[in-house]
Structure 1
Amino acid sequence: MSAPAINNICFVANFNKTEFFDRIAVRLRNKGCEIFWITVNRRLHDFLRARYPEKQILLINKTYIERPAEAIEDFKLQGLVFGDRVLRHMQTEGIKYLTNIQRPLYDFIATNHIGHIFGEITWAHEILALRLANRRKELRCRYLNPATIRIPNGRFAFFADEYQSVMVEKPEDKSDSAASSVIKLEKPDYLKLNDHLLKKSRSLGARVAKTKRFFTRENIDSLDPTLIDSDWLRLRIRLREEWNKETYRFVKTCTLDKFADKPYTLVTLHKQPEASIDVLGRYYDDQFQNIFNIRRFLPADWAVLVKEHTNAIGDRACGFYRNLQKIPGIFILNERTDSHEAIRRSSLVVTVSGTVAYEAALLEKTAFTLVPTFFNRLPFCLHVTWEDFRRAGSVRELIDRAKEGDENFARYLLQNSFAGIISDPISNPACMKEENITKVSEAFFEITGNKRRNYRVIFAEAGVSV
């Protein structure tokens, strides 16, 4: 297959990240690249139209539900609808929407000879665009997801699959001094930033402002498939979240002191809905069932400590935790417990796709992920499935297998990642600084092949099937 058109680049607009992507796009345009956009929101469309020619912007909003078009192929749309936090509430219309936007997407890519698409993997239309670009070889287009590598802070990579398990690899560069460095355990910056945003959102002023926006329908585009248009549904969801937050205080939690001399498995919950569980964790997105399966696989004298994500308080009702506690050997760990200390004392860590497994492996504590991740290359970090649980004679068998891994992981990771922050001006304002925009823009320019033509994608052992 011949190389894609390296100078024609498309970005997928996504709320606040659009402004960040636009800053990158301007730099690339100044280097001679032709810039295109895909958006589902009228306000973002108007924002982009003031900066780019109309013909270089594709608006695919809910009007396509009523614009029948033949599907290009089976992209497993039902799974995309189930995993989308908005389309799951309108499944019939969601299937129509994803079916009918396939041809416009295809034609937009083909007609404009787009070689690379950069976007998130959060919404169904983003994943559909990824599958379309990466499956239809005649398009000669790649969809890449630029995202943080979590640890170390301040670095990111380009992922070629929808599970963030496949990194685009750079050509070997023996002069890269960073490639021989060691990865030191540190807590990801985004956790602290998210905690700060969460604290602000719970203030009285923030709640009043949120209530005002609800009644004024501020920023609600009724044709945007990533926004819930029904006032009644929005109200139900908001009231449920507030109720769950207020009643979480009644959940009985424990501390690590109770398990000073007892083996335990640490299981960390994901915020949900969230791409880390609904997309990366597809088919493992029922967190209650996950914990139940883990509990019945472990020895009877092992405890399972379930730790809630501080940003996720409000996602689950009290009944979720109470039902878990009815299962012998399962305890709810206080959410403020230091995660690194909980990892150090554990016998095993299990997560769907969480950073906690990465942290555990850096501490040389055994961790299982239920889906493939890029850090499964590390020793002590094993991707397992329920079939592995079924076949293994004991947990010790899998723990022994987890010790195998790439001793040169640090070199591999730093060699194939870039310095820079991928975020948006609300989540992390530092991403908009000129220094960061320069670094990130150079990385985008390089990864498209404008500076190097011999990039290659190495796929994870588990594959990237959807």
Structure 2
Amino acid sequence: MKLMFVEVRSKTKLFESLAHELSDLKPELVLSWLIMNPFYRPKRGALYELGFPKIETIENLKFDRLDEKVISSDRFSIHFNREPWYYPYYRKMIEQAIAQEKPDFIIGELGTFYAHYACLIAKQLSIPFYDIESARFPNGCISIFEYDRWNPVKLQDVSDSQVWDYLKYYETNRPVPDYMGKNTKKISRLKKALLKKLDTLKVLLGYLSGESFNTQNPLENFVEKKKVISQLRLWDKCRVDLDGLRKINKKVLLYPLQMQPEFNLEVWGAPNNKQLAIIEKLARALPSDWVLLLKANPKPYFEMNRLEISNLYSRGNVYFLDRAVPMADISEMCDLVATVTGTIQIERLLAGKSVYIIGDTPFRDFSVIKSNIDSLSETDISGVSEYQSDNNVSFKVAKYLLEHAMPGEVSEPVSDPKCLRAANVSRLAHALLRVLGDKGSNDTI
């Protein structure tokens, strides 16, 4: 068995531990790596370093449809208006590496454009590509996704009683996904700060050595972060609290902003991965007795800089929720929630509430509105008032979540070194071997 990993900065350390565990379990395993940043080279396996091109050396390379797809989902293109001259070079390099190595499987994370290339090229060649991520629900679990969609592999069977038990637990405790919860892991602030600084140094050294294709210019990054602060100040000037919302006395369509850059929106959500366009389309389709309420992400980032807050505010039917208001408080006041790939769709469905799912997700069939965002109309939104909750939907969603998750933890070791513990790495390895042995068994709800 030949297994290729795609380097993804500090998470490569977890991949390397996983590769070692897999090699112990399967001595015949042959490892290889696609490497962008040379300062994250692993110690075992063949290395295919992608290099750093110069524009004058690749003028004859032509763009194809894979380039266009990657560009439309890459954070540099979406957020930083990067000139796309280098994309065909990396496509060619990755095509050559895969052709030479001939892996049976590829493991990567779609947060990087070169991993997205590896995924799309693998799909063309019918080579399974998997992305191991933390499951949104249930807590303390991982899911394994195939190719570049929100398309998790089924990992286990569950009984009806297990599903009902989970629904009861969810209703009683209303857990939040691990990535949103407070970090209660026992790691000293000093150790965490040191790990972060060492990782930042590796990123900076990579940038100085030529890796400016997946790493933003530090000065540009600083400027972008300053813009976020300015945008948040403007948001706060336009904000409406719950009392103000009640005085408006109209039905509420809530759109919670998803953090960006983040591949679950940029890649999984494509082509609906530009949130300003989504917001404008929702606002245009609103009936006169509705308002669109925007909720900032709890961890606001560069998505704020893509908003035209003043223009949206001047529409008269778009409001900006006070950032101090938690989701639990506003959720009960909403007549409808819209999202592309946000976790809110799962939370609403588990709670038996209406949600408009814009993205191509496993739960799209349960969207209360079936129209896509480009054909959304006033009639679609007005009809939501007739929605009736369905326990059968909650059951199906919960069962799907449980079947497509297994205990484990996936994280960047600089944030959570405990993900490297032997017991966790062993769980990840056995879950992955189950998938590799089945060649990936996907199903739908």
Structure 2 length as normaliser, TM-score? Answer: 0.82
Residues in 2 aligned to 1:149 and 1:382: alpha-carbon distance in whole angstroms:
26
**Matching of residue 457 in structure 1 with residue 442 in structure 2:** yes
User: 1:146 aligns to what SS in structure 2?
Assistant: strand
Q: Deviations over 1:97-140 (max 9, x none)?
A: 23422431331342xxx221111111221111111111223xxx
1:69–1:100 contact (8 Å) kept in structure 2: no
User: 2:147 aligns to what SS in structure 1?
Assistant: coil
**In the alignment, what sits opposite 1:107?**
99
Counterparts in 2 of 1:265-284, with a 5 A limit? 265-284=253-272
Q: Is the alpha carbon distance of 1:120 and 1:193 closer, same or farther for their aligned partners in structure 2, counting shifts above 3 Å?
A: farther
Residues in 1 aligned to 2:367 and 2:104: alpha-carbon distance in whole angstroms:
38
Shift of 1:143: 0.3
**In the alignment, what sits opposite 1:4?**
none
Q: Is the alpha carbon distance of 1:34 and 1:42 closer, same or farther for their aligned partners in structure 2, counting shifts above 3 Å?
A: same
**Matching of residue 389 in structure 1 with residue 383 in structure 2:** no
**In the alignment, what sits opposite 2:3?**
9
Structure with more contact order per residue of length (Cα contacts < 8 Å, sep ≥ 6)? 2
Residues in 1 aligned to 2:205 and 2:399: alpha-carbon distance in whole angstroms:
47
Counterparts in 2 of 1:40-439, with a 5 A limit? 40-45=36-41, 48=42, 51-53=43-45, 56-63=46-53, 66=57, 74-86=64-76, 89-110=81-102, 114-137=103-126, 141-164=127-150, 166-170=151-155, 173=157, 178=162, 181-183=165-167, 184=170, 185-192=174-181, 217-224=204-211, 226-228=213-215, 233-245=217-229, 248-250=232-234, 251-252=236-237, 253-260=239-246, 262-313=250-301, 315-317=303-305, 320-376=308-364, 379=366, 384-390=371-377, 393-397=379-383, 406=393, 407-439=395-427
Residues in 1 aligned to 2:274 and 2:440: alpha-carbon distance in whole angstroms:
37
Q: Deviations over 1:231-256 (max 9, x none)?
A: xx531341232243156234321222
Shift of 1:312: 1.7
Moved more, 317-326 or 361-370: 317-326
Residues in 1 aligned to 2:370 and 2:334: alpha-carbon distance in whole angstroms:
18
Residues in 2 aligned to 1:394 and 1:117: alpha-carbon distance in whole angstroms:
42
2:419–2:425 contact (8 Å) kept in structure 1: yes
Residues in 1 aligned to 2:291 and 2:276: alpha-carbon distance in whole angstroms:
16
Q: Is the alpha carbon distance of 1:318 and 1:458 closer, same or farther for their aligned partners in structure 2, counting shifts above 3 Å?
A: closer
Amino acid at match of 1:129: A
Q: Is the alpha carbon distance of 1:362 and 1:256 closer, same or farther for their aligned partners in structure 2, counting shifts above 3 Å?
A: farther
Q: Is the alpha carbon distance of 1:320 and 1:182 closer, same or farther for their aligned partners in structure 2, counting shifts above 3 Å?
A: same
Residues in 2 aligned to 1:326 and 1:148: alpha-carbon distance in whole angstroms:
39
Amino acid at match of 1:241: K
1:271–1:309 contact (8 Å) kept in structure 2: yes
User: 2:181 aligns to what SS in structure 1?
Assistant: helix
Q: Is the alpha carbon distance of 1:92 and 1:416 closer, same or farther for their aligned partners in structure 2, counting shifts above 3 Å?
A: closer
Shift of 1:18: 0.5
User: 1:304 aligns to what SS in structure 2?
Assistant: strand
Shift of 1:429: 3.2
Residues in 2 aligned to 1:107 and 1:454: alpha-carbon distance in whole angstroms:
20
**In the alignment, what sits opposite 2:433?**
445
Q: Deviations over 1:17-41 (max 9, x none)?
A: 1011111111100012322211111
Q: Deviations over 1:291-313 (max 9, x none)?
A: 12112212212121101113225
Residues in 2 aligned to 1:298 and 1:455: alpha-carbon distance in whole angstroms:
42
User: 1:448 aligns to what SS in structure 2?
Assistant: helix
Residues in 2 aligned to 1:70 and 1:242: alpha-carbon distance in whole angstroms:
37
> Structure 1 unaligned runs (5+)?
1-6, 461-466
Residues in 1 aligned to 2:406 and 2:267: alpha-carbon distance in whole angstroms:
24
The alignment's C-alpha RMSD in Å is 3.5
User: 1:409 aligns to what SS in structure 2?
Assistant: helix
Residues in 2 aligned to 1:321 and 1:130: alpha-carbon distance in whole angstroms:
36
Residues in 1 aligned to 2:93 and 2:60: alpha-carbon distance in whole angstroms:
8
Residues in 2 aligned to 1:424 and 1:122: alpha-carbon distance in whole angstroms:
13
**In the alignment, what sits opposite 1:3?**
none
Residues in 2 aligned to 1:193 and 1:226: alpha-carbon distance in whole angstroms:
32
Q: Deviations over 1:28-64 (max 9, x none)?
A: 000123222111111112xx1xx214xx221112248
Aligned residues: 420
Shift of 1:357: 1.8
**In the alignment, what sits opposite 1:464?**
none
Q: Is the alpha carbon distance of 1:455 and 1:248 closer, same or farther for their aligned partners in structure 2, counting shifts above 3 Å?
A: closer
Q: Is the alpha carbon distance of 1:136 and 1:459 closer, same or farther for their aligned partners in structure 2, counting shifts above 3 Å?
A: farther
Amino acid at match of 1:12: V
1:86–1:225 contact (8 Å) kept in structure 2: no
Amino acid at match of 1:264: V
1:179–1:415 contact (8 Å) kept in structure 2: no
Residues in 2 aligned to 1:444 and 1:11: alpha-carbon distance in whole angstroms:
13
Amino acid at match of 1:368: Y
Residues in 1 aligned to 2:306 and 2:3: alpha-carbon distance in whole angstroms:
47
Shift of 1:340: 2.2
Shift of 1:389: 0.8
Q: Deviations over 1:415-445 (max 9, x none)?
A: 2321111111123333223332221121112
Residues in 2 aligned to 1:415 and 1:219: alpha-carbon distance in whole angstroms:
40
Structure 1 length as normaliser, TM-score? Answer: 0.79
Q: Deviations over 1:345-378 (max 9, x none)?
A: 210001121112221222222111221123436x
Shift of 1:92: 4.0
1:10–1:118 contact (8 Å) kept in structure 2: yes
Amino acid at match of 2:288: A
Moved more, 355-364 or 12-21: 355-364
Residues in 2 aligned to 1:286 and 1:364: alpha-carbon distance in whole angstroms:
28
Amino acid at match of 2:223: L
1:13–1:37 contact (8 Å) kept in structure 2: yes
